[in-house]
Amino acid sequence: MRREFERIFSDFPMNFDNERNFGGIRVDVHETENEVIAACDIPGLEKKENVNIDLENNTLSISGSVNKTNETKEENMYRKECYTGSFHRAVSLPCPVSHEGVKATYKNGVLEVRMPKLTRDTKNRINVDFH
């Protein structure tokens, strides 16, 4: 029945198989006056070495892996929705951000990345040398 369900809905953009769907984590991106903030739901991270954050060409990339140590044997599993494995997501940012001063925190299954906006001074005072 599951195979038939997946065959019928295979043309839809969302895959109902959780193992294949997790590879693209969910990311909320918003901006304040001074920074761009990305919040990602990544439950199950155990160490900071399990997540990588890259910022290049106004694109934020987040990748890593979730490894569960207490895995239940397949024959005793009735429903499996919690994911174990690697993930990757890249999102375009709404405006240019600085590579310096980026801060990332992970709390209660949510990774938050705060990126300062690039400031472009429209006014540049030029110093005059008098001799």
What dotted CATH number matches 24-116?
A: 2.60.40.790
Segment 42-81, tens digit of pLDDT: 988 888 899 999 999 899 999 998 876 665 666 777 766 6
Report the SS3 class of residue 65: strand
Domain ranges of the chain: 24-116
The percentage of residues in the chain with a pLDDT greater than 90, rounded to a whole number, is 44
Query: What are the pLDDT digits (tens) for 98-110?
Result: 999 999 999 999 9
Q: Is 3 helix (H, G, I), strand (E, B) or coil?
A: helix
